[in-house]
Amino acid sequence: MTVSNLATKTPVTVITGYLGAGKTTLLNNLLTRPNGKKIALIVNEFGEIGIDADLVVKSDEEILEMNNGCICCNVRGDLVRIIDKITSANRTIDHIVIETTGLADPGPIIQSFWVEEVLRDRTQLDGFVTVVDSLYFFRHENSCEAMEQVAFADHIILNKCDLVDCSQIVELETVIKRMNPLAKIERSENSVINSDILCLGGFDLSKALTIEPDLLESNSHEHQNDIAAICLSSYGSVNGDLFSKWISAYVQTNGENLYRCKGILNIDDQPRRFVFQGVHMTLEGRPGTPWRSDQVRTNQMVFIGVNLDEKILKDGFLNCHYASN
Amino acid sequence: MYTNFEEYAVSSLTGGCSNLPKVNGKLNFESEWSQKAFAIAIELSRQGYFEMEEFRQMMIKSIRKWENEHGLDDESWSYYSIWIAVLESLIYGRKILEKSDVTQLVAETFHCKNSSMPT
């Protein structure tokens, strides 16, 4: 018997955003704001000489650089090694913040926290924060990375709001909301924010209670870049075996185009909710918090991706329901 | 993905020192009472009285305490004795007995434990 790997998981926040959006400024603001937490900062950048780490204000926090490439492509091993070191038994780190390169693809980064043993056992991905350059967002519309960073996010910071007029910000918010209705959107100037982005719980299935009702009523959210959010809701009990087979097959077939999905379901009329989330072909699901006895049990799911067929999703999901009496 | 609570519970107690005792990949129970204690804990958690993660953390803490107080070759080690102590602590600490009709089930298990545990 051994008492290793027992500590509570260290929360991780990933900060991403296109080139020049204001990620490093956000980090500096974050690190200079006292929050009582001992933070380890991992800065990912291209090239052998780290530049971004030099731009980060000097503080008590530990700054580690990964500069052999992009975190989403070929430094996953580095990430595992660094987090292994940070979370070793004799260290006291309260939170890990990762700043990605501006060209990072969020999917593989999120997946690493589910599939890499060290990351899965010792850390809990808390949130994926994307800094958007309000001034140049529409110029980046042809960049897959810039759009995916928005589509994957739990929290989106519309930075440089002081450089655009109000109507443009409203338009930007509308476009972004259509691409990713799950994320909270916050306006900022110079990456100054009010929210506690180190406590988002964006990937914490144990706390998932509901998906915004407004979101589910609006069904499908089309966007000119083909990024769409499809929202499904239903009543009644869902057959766990059928659902498990259907969703697994769906993500295997459509995973490449599916960025994120989330759902809260009444499986087999069990006392607890069933909650799941997915990124591309990776899925995780578990029993969540119990339903209240006076509560109407609603099944709610959101799928965000490109070229998703709403009818296929809807029909497939409805086929998983028990026949109503 | 665990749509079945029992599978989820077993999975969440796999790994680390709170690891469920297994033989040839199957759960291994020391006795009848340990089997019942296991079933009661899983059912109470399934019903929402406590989270499996809470239970796991309490197991880890209790096992760590036992290891600090005993030699690693101490033959009095019993995984399910710690399990039932944690379960008792939750049942009485959360006043679960007053909230539900599990009294009889728990009483039977404890009686079973007393009759078969080594003195």
What is the per-residue pLDDT across B36-47, written as a single tens digit (0 to 9) for each? 999 999 999 999
- Average confidence score pLDDT of chain B: 83
Please indicate whether, in this complex, the C-beta atoms of B3 and A121 are within 8 angstroms of each other.
no
Could you tell me if A238 and A316 are in contact, meaning their C-beta atoms sit under 8 angstroms apart? no
Q: Which residues of A touch B8 (CB under 8 A)?
A: 286-287
- The token duo for A99 is 């700043």
pLDDT at A187 over 90: yes
Q: Is A247 on the interface with B (CB under 8 A)?
A: yes
Nearest by CB to A3, from B4, B5, B64: name it: B64
pLDDT at A205 over 90: no
Q: Distance between CA atoms of A108 and B48, rounded to whole angstroms?
A: 34
Q: Which residues of B touch A247 (CB under 8 A)?
A: 1
Which amino acid would we find at residue A189? E
Q: Which of A153-162, A248-257, B18-27, B60-69 has the lowest mean pLDDT?
A: B18-27
Token pair 């101490």: residue: B74
Distance (Å) from the C-alpha of residue B33 to the closest C-alpha of chain A? 22
Distance (Å) from the C-alpha of residue B38 to the closest C-alpha of chain A? 18
- Average confidence score pLDDT of chain A: 82
Residue A3: its pLDDT value, please?
39
pLDDT tens-digit readout, A20-53: 899 889 988 888 877 778 888 888 765 444 445 5
What range defines the domain where residue B54 resides?
32-110
Q: Which residues of A touch B63 (CB under 8 A)?
A: 1, 3
Could you tell me if B44 and A34 are in contact, meaning their C-beta atoms sit under 8 angstroms apart? no
Which whole number is the average pLDDT over A126-151?
A: 87
pLDDT at B115 over 60: no
pLDDT at B118 over 70: no
Which amino acid would we find at residue A180? N
Q: Is residue B101 one of the residues assigned to a domain?
A: yes
- Domains held by chain B: number: 1
Q: Is residue B22 one of the residues assigned to a domain?
A: no
Q: Which residue of B has its CA nearest to A278?
A: B1
Q: Is residue B27 one of the residues assigned to a domain?
A: no
Q: Is residue B52 one of the residues assigned to a domain?
A: yes
Residue A159: its pLDDT value, please?
95
pLDDT at A64 over 80: no
DSSP code, position A301: E
Instruction: Please tell me which residue, B90 or A46, carries the higher pLDDT value.
Output: B90
Q: Is A108 on the interface with B (CB under 8 A)?
A: no
Residue A4: its pLDDT value, please?
37
Q: Distance between CA atoms of B101 and A40, rounded to whole angstroms?
A: 48
Q: Which residue of A has its CA nearest to B20?
A: A1
CA proximity to A28, closest of A105, A150, A131:
A131
What ipTM was reported for this prediction?
A: 0.77
Q: Is residue B12 one of the residues assigned to a domain?
A: no
Q: Is residue B10 one of the residues assigned to a domain?
A: no
Q: Which of A167-171, B9-13, B52-56 has the lowest mean pLDDT?
A: B9-13
Please give the interface size between A and B, counted as residue pairs whose CB atoms are below 8 Å apart: 59
Q: Distance between CA atoms of A117 and A115, rounded to whole angstroms?
A: 6
Q: Is A139 on the interface with B (CB under 8 A)?
A: no
What percentage of chain B carries pLDDT values higher than 90?
41
Q: Is A295 on the interface with B (CB under 8 A)?
A: no
Residue A87: its pLDDT value, please?
84
Q: Is residue B23 one of the residues assigned to a domain?
A: no
Q: Are strands A39-44 and A62-66 parallel, antiparallel or unpaired?
A: parallel
Residue B113: which pLDDT band, with cuts at 50, 70 and 90?
Answer: low
Q: Which residues of A touch B60 (CB under 8 A)?
A: 3, 6
Which whole number is the average pLDDT over A196-205?
A: 83
Q: Which of A19-33, A55-69, A233-247 has the lowest mean pLDDT?
A: A55-69
Distance (Å) from the C-alpha of residue A30 to the closest C-alpha of chain B? 30
Could you tell me if B5 and B47 are in contact, meaning their C-beta atoms sit under 8 angstroms apart? no
CA proximity to A157, closest of A183, A181, A178, A124:
A183
Q: Is A290 on the interface with B (CB under 8 A)?
A: yes
Q: Is residue B98 one of the residues assigned to a domain?
A: yes
Residue B97: its pLDDT value, please?
75
pLDDT at B110 over 80: no
pLDDT tens-digit readout, A285-323: 999 999 999 999 999 999 998 889 999 999 999 999 998
Residue B117: its pLDDT value, please?
46
Which whole number is the average pLDDT over B44-51?
A: 93
Residue A239: which pLDDT band, with cuts at 50, 70 and 90?
Answer: very high
What Å distances lie between residue B102 and A59, A293, B89, B96, B97, CA to CA?
A: 54, 19, 15, 8, 6
